[in-house]
Structure 1
Amino acid sequence: MTDWVEHVLWWHVYPLGFVGSAHEPGGREPVEHRLPHLIAWLDHPISLGLNGILLGPVFASGSHGYDTIDYRRIDPRLGDDADFDALLAACRERGLRILLDGVFNHVGTDFPLFRQAVADGPGSEAAGAFRFHWDSTNDLGLPAYDCFEGHQALVELNHDAPQVEDLVVEVMCHWLGRGIDGWRLDAAYAVPEDFWARVLPRVRQRFPEAYVLGEVIHGDYAQFVARSGVDSVTQYELWKAIWSSLSSANFFELSHALARHDDFLRDFVPQTFVGNHDVTRIATQIADPRHLPHAYAVLLTVGGTPSIYYGDEMGYTGTKEERLGGDDQVRPSMPPTPDDLTLGFDTFETIRVLVGVRRRHPWLHRAQTRDLHLANASYAFELTGDGERIVLCLNLSDDSWWVDLDAVEELLAGAAEVAAGGISVPAHGWAVLRAGV
């Protein structure tokens, strides 16, 4: 993994939603110059202490961005090449890294190579880029083909085809050459691991500092990293344990997840999060708003490369629903500038303080954890690395909680009364403390 990743904290943005673009049509004229809307917000993540922008899909697509039409064209609902170059330049001026979302498992039905394959038929060179079943027809009136998770508008690529390997290498290198810092590989779990193992060395030969993050939900994370060659994967196990343990007052679930997380950290550094464009917002998942800061205290102290999903830092709510348009609540448009925000400043300040703690203790990137106290509604664990030690205490109960702790040196964030031999954490409170080794 490239060294710069150890110091990056991402602000995750779904561009089409952020700038208020229509869902359809995509990939067509006229160009709407909406990316300056995002540029107007770039100082916002910096004021939070973040230094990277993890962008959702920006390429021409048919609707939501994941049905790509043209990998080399900016979606006209966002702008054009000049708008994207301006965004890159604005990020560079501020020291912000950029990841792009690479949707390389599937394309939209308007993807030119797919249309050519349908027109040219079986045995054509274009047809080899997909997995057709020419003896049947699907619901769209097209020759049947393999599609992503049953969505016929998402045509799966044939990852055994050399032309698909060449296409993905060319696209990744094209945008790295334009100035981005790396890629998030959408639905990386759906692509054969050996495909990435062939593609990524070719990309890194030209761009050795590129960071590659694979979207993996279930399965053996460490095995996927080892076999595919990606730098990291999305840590969905920890995401689920954080909100679930806080919602149900069951810290045993979080303890179990952190033990597995420690094992992952010995092999690679996972990308950690409590919110993204595909899940119900953390402020909705956690019913008691007093426990929302606890989620960020975990995220920003445990090992990993954390991201904050846009709007979460302001306490936005939203539910992911399994229906057409079911992502809308978690992919909202934002006001013209951060100055137009009217709520959520307590959450913003909590995250800003915790990001400051992480900035002052960069070793937390690979920190290992050990339980000190574990009960359903109270949990204390230590984080160690680089000869230092931090303790995180979480209290979900209606009563203050005394924790026996030796060598407490400083309260770094949260609230606690420090006394000889331990601390007292207030009801529904949390505390991050520096302690002697």
Structure 2
Amino acid sequence: MDSKSLFAKAQTLMPGGVNSPLRACKYVHAEPVFIQNARGAHLFDVDGREYVDYVFSWGPQLLGHQDPAVSEAAHKAIDLGSSYGAPCFGEIALAEKITELIPSMEMMRMVSSGTEATMSALRLARGYTGRKKFVKFIGNYHGHADAFLAAAGSAAATVPGTPGVPEEVTSHTLLAQYNDLDAVKAHFETDGEDIACVIVEPVAGNMGLVLPKDGFLQGLRDLCTQYGALLIFDEVITGFRVSPGGAQQRFDITPDLTTLGKIIGGGFPVGCYGGKREIMEHMAPVGTVFQAGTLSGNPVAMAAGLATLNRLADCDYDALEARTKALTDGLAEIMAEKGKPVTVNRIASAFTMYFSNKPVTNMIESGQADGETFATYWQQMLAQGIYLAPAGFECAFTSFAHTDEDFEKTLEAARKVEF
């Protein structure tokens, strides 16, 4: 069956024909292509077409698809059993590696998704401090747990005030614009004694890529320390992508808790939260804050994640960042020549190209970019074999598997786009 007939069939079985809303491609006025397999930096669909991938399963595949070392580790693990629901050595090995790379995570708990990681970290912060309220930023996305869906980014931004989330649940969620430190100060001045934590994407990745302004992250650290609240870095996207030690290494800021996902599973479903030993020991069975999961510490995911982190130790992050800069500079120049000025936000191997001639530093400015022009761009790039996220408020990712030929094909496709 081709993509069109598969999508028609899928819509009779799943809401919108997808298992995650953005995949329906409604925001770019298109229908999804159905992927059959992936290798390196390329995807292959059921219609026989090949694409240069800039989504990489929304970030995990920094090494590219089917990296030999990761695939071998996963296959070996599967041959020993796909799931135990019991402790295994892989949990220890991966936790040791994470602690080595992110020293602030003295202890951690493995889970099965980024959403699980963030909701558990919030519960722990509340249990540890005995406080109810927390600060989050408009346009930051921390998964689809109820408390985080107030002014969330990513696909949630298209369904504001989503039904099914009672007002009582979000009444303890305090909102501020990303990069607005004064708004956070105001919350602490009013509710400081009842704020358990501030949770932040240290580099926002769900209103497009938005970088923290100078002093913003340090200001959050200082406020949390001053008022006895915890600082949580949601590094589900940035962990091991913006540097080997994540955003906290790159910006030299130490959070109290960190949430991880994506890359630490090597493409398998996984999440993790961790931080200071004193805080983590409030989790059951040592402490009284409860969290559990049947597939937590899944042996296949642990093996793939460990193989991924070991492989990344030999990779040249600086070289990939330089190549990504050259690619995005080229795309911006091409769009300017077509009379479509863009703003490119970029760090390491992640970027967003906004069809806007203004800086983008928060959700308001992200929303002012030209979504219709992006849809035209997306459609024509896909037709030429370039696979981008189907929304202008998402990140694009490069990988260590991309070749110079892949990047040149991307630039050539952009040259042929007509507006």
TM-score, length basis structure 1? 0.29
Bigger share in helix: 2
**TM-score, structure 2 length as denominator?**
0.30
Larger relative contact order (Cα-Cα within 8 Å, sequence gap ≥ 6): 2
